[in-house]
Copies of this chain bind each other. A is one copy, B any other.
């Protein structure tokens, strides 16, 4: 379905590999050249200054020489990667810190309002509820108006962009503003939303904008493949500065966005993410929030004996349970989206009142968490951050199964309820937060799901840990010293496992180490994360893949673990044998017919129908340009002018009196139609055009009804003649080396090649002869046929709901369509309708 209605799946990566600078428009090239000249000019002038100065022997001159040298050095360094990465890291650290600051203020304001109104419960409730509703509604409205692309986490889109798909609207300044402000409001509301996913997007936006800005100084920033590399580094920076977790950030961004990763980019990611995390934490120190640079959610578990070997089964249980939990979360999230889209009545209503859905969801969630109400049984008072801090606490809350009178300092008392056991509170917290988070992440605001899931996982881990502590009050270790069980360690394991299961990543393990500042639980965490991943991956796609499917972004599914039938399927089993091709000596009529019937973006060029030797491939747009050049207005006008001159000569003997009349008629629209080869009539006409020529030469033209009629039939005749001419490929951009496979290539290898090179299709040849074509569609079908992911089949959502803003794929499609149309000098005779291809690809 990803080749639907105009999602311009540009195989930039491979084509640009082939074309080099061919595909760059001349304007861009000129700009680049200009930038280079400018830079070299600067250098030259600097060196001239230097030469001049060296004659001067004064003391001051030395300083100035030094300054000029520095300047020279700096200018030459502007193009270097590390300058860019440092700037990116700095910028993102500032953005992250400022955003955190604003969010903290927002949350404090809510607490202050709630606290100030403690005389009246109703007023308190109103304040508690209104505040998030207003913020979320504002966020949703603002995003909707400014840039609907900013909705959601952005990781699915970044994955698609890094895969090589051009989604230009996702990397604009508007989107940046919408995402930053929208995210701040959304998180400030206290809803169970996360900042990680959006931060990946924000960092990418930053990188894209910074690239644009830096390109003012040097030409290197125009390079497309370099920009993609920088985007990959930016994703790492996003996670790194969000959690102050550089290593985890790099790994997480790799796992979430890439299939194949260049170790080159990995350096860049580490460098930028470390710098960013460093600045982010230094800002906290400077602001006197912290005494020194430490972890964000610092824990203080004992180091000498972090856990006993016999506790490992409990950790494994957490891993497996969280694996199921993660799959359930992804399923629930998709279910909610699908339910909203399927119910036509709801759908129609929500489309009209776009901000109603966010408001209603927020109202529901904040009502349930109202502390004097139900919230008292689920620590509703605590913000997400506070909950996490308390959950990772290194003291035990419960002993012997009863909540004892231990020293609930700080926020921990929120978990204590006079009537209710701490276990009940934890269970309620887990259950309520689970569906709340799944629901909240469907709100059309910039938001991620990582942090809510992380907190739920921590709560589940804590629950298991508290149970273990209650079961073994003196710890499990038998000989010698008593080592009581640390439920906080279980919380760490649970958090890593659940977030790993939802995102299908292992690097959440590294993120928890960096977040807590302790690595003592490494083996339990790794075991739980791997088990959770194994379970979740066999049940559901990752949350990001699920969103990719819902949004119908172009993608290539992953090959699952150990499905070795993949090695036995060959390309010949899945390829399309009926390939559309054009021959080197074909006529425009053949070209026309090929364009009428197929709808592939790229067509094969073969030597002749007999030999079928593949010479290259031509983009559809190129062929359309060729065709319109042959049949288009300029040549048509030239022909008409020629005819007119002839007619004039012929009619010069006839009287001049009907000139006014005839010129009026001549100015009428001249329509013509192109007929298909097999007598089939075209459904769409060439666009009518005004015969400007006649209008401007109104006075000079001598035309009468006979001439006009004659002209119309002459034009048809002319067209037929034009169509029979042989195509001249001289000015046509031909990709001379389209990717070729042989029929015995296995599915596994084909998948590898497609992912490596970001291909969209490949021709199948046998000793130079074209015998078939494989596109992403066939490949995807073949993979999904063999890797049967149960429950992962996503129904096509109602197109109408897409307008309401929960999904921005429609906008994007329209935008891409526009871009696509720009390439076409005139609309083509017959275009396949999007709905048709939609149906086909389902």
Contact = CB atoms under 8 A, between A and B. Distances in A.
Interface of A: 16-22, 79-82, 220, 223, 225-226, 246-247, 251, 254-255, 258-264, 266-267, 270-271, 274, 277-278, 281-282, 285, 291-295, 298, 300, 303-309, 477, 506, 509-510, 513-514, 517-520, 522-523, 526-527, 530, 533-534, 558-559, 561-562, 564, 567, 570, 607, 613-616, 734, 736-737, 740-742, 744-746, 748-749, 752-753, 755-757, 765-768
Contacts of A742: 18-20, 22, 736-737
24 contacts: A17-B752, A18-B742, A18-B745, A81-B562, A82-B534, A82-B561, A226-B564, A226-B567, A259-B262, A264-B559, A267-B533, A274-B526, A285-B309, A293-B309, A293-B523, A294-B306, A295-B522, A303-B518, A513-B513, A517-B520, A518-B520, A607-B768, A736-B740, A736-B765
Contacts of A527: 274, 278
Contacts of A534: 82
Contacts of A267: 506, 533, 561
Nearest to A559: B264
Contacts of A526: 246-247, 270, 274, 278
B260 A745 contact: no
A69 to B, nearest CB: 20
A45 to B, nearest CB: 21
Find the residue from A81, A558, A748, A767 having the highest chain B CB count within 10 A. A767
B613 A607 contact: yes
A506 B756 CA distance: 24
A740 B737 contact: yes
A766 B517 contact: no
Copies of this protein in the complex: 2
Contacts of A80: 561-562
A523 B277 contact: yes
Given A292-B309, A744-B21, A259 B270 contact: no
B740 A79 contact: no
Nearest to A277: B523
A16 B18 CA distance: 22
A294 B80 CA distance: 43
Find the residue from A300, A513, A562, A753 having the highest chain B CB count within 10 A. A562
Nearest to A741: B737
Contacts of A522: 246-247, 295, 514, 517
B756 A615 contact: no
A303 B300 contact: yes
A519 B518 CA distance: 6
A670 to B, nearest CB: 38
Given A17-B753, A513-B513, A527-B274, A261 B259 contact: no
Contacts of A561: 80-82, 267
Contacts of A264: 259, 558-559
Given A274-B526, A277-B523, A291-B477, 14 more contacts: A17-B745, A81-B561, A81-B562, A246-B522, A260-B261, A270-B506, A271-B530, A292-B305, A293-B307, A293-B523, A294-B520, A615-B768, A736-B742, A756-B756
B562 A20 contact: no
Nearest to A259: B263
Contacts of A255: 263, 266
Given A18-B742, A20-B744, A767 B734 contact: yes
